[in-house]
Amino acid sequence: MMHLSLKIGHFVVYLGDVVTANNIPIANASLYWDQATSPTRDRGIPWASVFGNHDDAHFVWPKEWFSKQGIPPLRCSPSNSTLIGDGNCSFMGTTRLDLMNYELGNGTLSFSQHGPKNLWPSVSNYVLQISSSENPESPVAFMYFLDSGGGSYPEVISSAQAQWLKGISNEINPDFRVPEIFFWHIPSKAYQKAAPWLFFVPQPCVGSINKERVCTQESEAGIMKVLQDRPSVQAVFVGHDHGNDWCCPYKKLWLCYARHTGYGGYGNWARGARILEIADQPFTLKSWIRMEDGFVHSHILLSSRPVSSSSIFLVLVLVLVLFFGIKSFYPASAHLISKAKAFISPTAL
């Protein structure tokens, strides 16, 4: 388990579908992954990532390529593609493991991890501990990252993942004293139960768009039962459905979407990012949406209970990046905001 010891700092979570591999006509998508994460790295901001259902998907041949105009010229070589016959290319996608190895090998600021080998082909399963710089051994919160599948294998958080989570959470937080936050890409079936009706976001839910039905994992294999049994769980954050950005209560925790951030994928909803602000002693978890044009909305307090006050204060701002494409989240001219209370904007300032 890795530690984030920060008094005041920024941290980015890439919440899956960093690249749309099924639209990339090359065998190795690692360079596109690097392009998508480079704005964070170039600004010296640490980050972590989980996989979505498009990151390692096989290339889908467009039907129009088989029209009168024919297949466009392709550049294939033994180093980056599989050759079939005389110069024809077959694109099998870049595996989750290859993408993670590339990120870890090229991103010194990446806190992502492979996760336990016995959970593969599910790769991005790991825990990060947030700590105050004044007391780095004392956890402020635990952030859990889970691979919800899709792409090269079924869309599911498996029972093996649920059992792994149950074991490691009981080991590092047996008395539920430390707040816990969860990140994965594809919503669990609990999101269907918590979702607002129609196209509105009425209270107690908070958000600005509810334009899609919840598209869930293929089956529920026990993950939500593990979370419901842990009073320390504050919230879950997912992506996947571009037209939703709400948070709704479910049992004793919050189920939240991020916001469609990238320039690829389906839909024409305005781009933005979900921001989290974590404060220590007393512990609070606040969230809001920051739009590409700078507009801020949908403020919500997600922390479930107060903690005794103290002089030590920690602020950690997390930007949940729902990419769906390969174009950079920040334009090249953008720069890092330096003030602790300031927001990270998805546009040039």
pLDDT of res. 266: 87
DSSP one-letter code for 260: B
Q: Say if residue 39 is preceded by a cis peptide, omega within 30 of 0.
A: no
- pLDDT at position 61: 72
Pairing of strands 126-132, 2-5: parallel
pLDDT of res. 176: 97
* C-alpha distance from residue 60 to each of 33, 65, 90, 264 (Å): 18, 11, 10, 16
* Residue 58: closest CA among 17, 96, 92, 18: 92
CA-atom Rg of the chain in angstroms = 20
Task: Give the separation between CA 111 and CA 27, rounded to whole angstroms.
Answer: 26
Q: Tens of pLDDT along 254-310?
A: 999 999 998 888 899 999 999 999 998 889 999 999 999 999 999 999 996 423 333
Percentage, residues of the chain above pLDDT 90? 55
Low-confidence ranges of the chain (pLDDT < 70): 1-8, 27, 68-93, 107, 304-349
For residue 177, with 0-12 CB atoms within 10 Å meaning exposed, 13-18 middle and 19 or more buried, which class applies? exposed
What pLDDT score was predicted for residue 328? 30
**Between helices 96-106 and 30-42, what is the axis angle to 10°?**
40
Cβ-Cβ contacts under 8 Å for 73 (sequence gap 6 or more): none
Residue 72, by phi and psi: left (phi above 0), alpha (psi -120 to 50) or beta?
beta
Do 257 and 237 meet the contact criterion of CB atoms below 8 Å apart? yes
Tens-digit pLDDT profile for residues 12-41: 999 999 988 787 777 677 888 888 898 999
Distance from C-alpha of 49 to C-alpha of 113, rounded to nearest angstrom:
8
- Ramachandran angles phi, psi of 155, nearest 5°: -85, 90
